[in-house]
Amino acid sequence: MGNFPQVSDGIPAGRLFIIGGGEDRCCGAGVLERFVELSGGDQARITLVTTATGSPDEVHAEYEQVFRKLGVENTTELRLHGRADADSDLAESILRGATGVFFSGGDQSRIRALVGSRTNEILSERLAGGLVIAGTSAGATALGRTMILGGRRAEVSAAAVRTAPGLGLLGSVLIDMHFAERGRLARLLAAVALAPDHIGVGIDENTAILVEGTRFEVMGSGVATVVDPERSTVVHPAGDYDPITLFDVRLHLMPAGCQFDLDDRVPAIGPRHTRY
């Protein structure tokens, strides 16, 4: 990718709205209402990227209906089947016209074709200029420099998690989703043990973090779990299926209204506790 304006730890200036999946899509629409508000309300022009899903027609129709209920008349699907689509003039034209971009859930491995593409470059550039970029579930973990592809084992081991390069819109932060609902603490611990320069953030369903610059705020009905390995000691075993030794990991449980400074690695209770 090209070089874009960044703050000191590699996080572009802009707004990322990262949802743990399972967001409320009924009237009121929970965290999605906040995304629409950030994107311009009834003047928003939302681009829905359906690359991750295997049912793009259904996903497009569902989100278009939800956004219309929230007052948005302009929702455009960007269906990127592979690298050629992601490098196309059409993709650039659609992304240039958006006030908000939303990555749907599905299978994050499908998003790997976008990494390093023209689409990726435009998103990085426009994020630096203040564009709102959101992702839910698979679309959430893909926003980071490293994304979690999978892993279901219960122990903290190298075999418990699979990762790959992400879109790099968020610096050294590993995002995991459906966090409490699917019991993914061991997976996130394994991920940060294998990449200790990252902070791990596990986001519950119907819960989001809003990242602005080097800080984020939690909103929604669940919790964001922060795993900070900065002071930890990691000892890797010989085998991928053997448990990793991990000392002195800091763990923060952050419901709505809590904030986290990614530069200083400091959590705080914010000026308000908001439950959208």
Catalytic sites, residue numbers: 137, 155, 178
C-alpha span between 36 and 254 (Å, rounded): 23
Chain-centre distance of CA 127, in angstroms? 14
Based on its alpha-carbon atoms, the radius of gyration of the chain, rounded to whole angstroms, reads 18
Q: Which residues 6+ apart lie within 8 Å of 195 measured at CB?
A: 146, 163, 174
92-125 pLDDT, tens digit per residue, is 999 999 999 999 999 999 999 999 999 999 999 9
pLDDT cut 70: percent of the chain above it: 91
Q: Answer yes or no: is pLDDT of 200 > 60.
A: yes
| pTM summary value | 0.90
DSSP 43: G
The domains located in the chain, with CATH, are 15-155+165-185+202-221+255-262 (3.40.50.880)
What does the pLDDT read at residue 272? 55
Q: Answer yes or no: is pLDDT of 9 > 70.
A: no
Q: Answer yes or no: is pLDDT of 4 > 90.
A: no
CB 135 within 8 A of CB 209: no
